[in-house]
Structure 1
Amino acid sequence: MTPLARLLIGSQFAFHVGFFAVLPYFADHLAGTLCLGGAMVALVLGLRTFSQQGLFVVGGLLTDR
């Protein structure tokens, strides 16, 4: 494996670990500090996940154009 491939895989791994490691703390903040209900916490986390992960495809398509 080339050094560039290792760098790419390592950076993607670190990004995904960081992305998913913050979710429990964010959910605790929304439910505890902001007193949101379970459905609202799920909606906010779902929108966050979609906007950060799901819109990569849209951004990639726009970049390619």
Structure 2
Amino acid sequence: ALIEDGDEIEISVSRGSLELKVDSKTLEARRAKWKPIKKEITSKWLKRYALLVSNAANGAVLKTEL
């Protein structure tokens, strides 16, 4: 979310790394302005799933008991 068009990225296959070449002050300024996108769930089945599912660490199982 903090990467913008024109940012330099260094990829090293031998080291297995990917590095964003933007200074920390710029990233902090972008982080301060960034707001996550909150999408409205329109499907009643997805709303039910979102409310009743356990987390991924527990298998993302739909809870049948409240």
TM-score (norm 2): 0.23
Computing the radius of gyration from Cα coordinates, the structure with the larger value is 2
More helix by share: 1
TM-score (norm 1): 0.23
More strand by share: 2
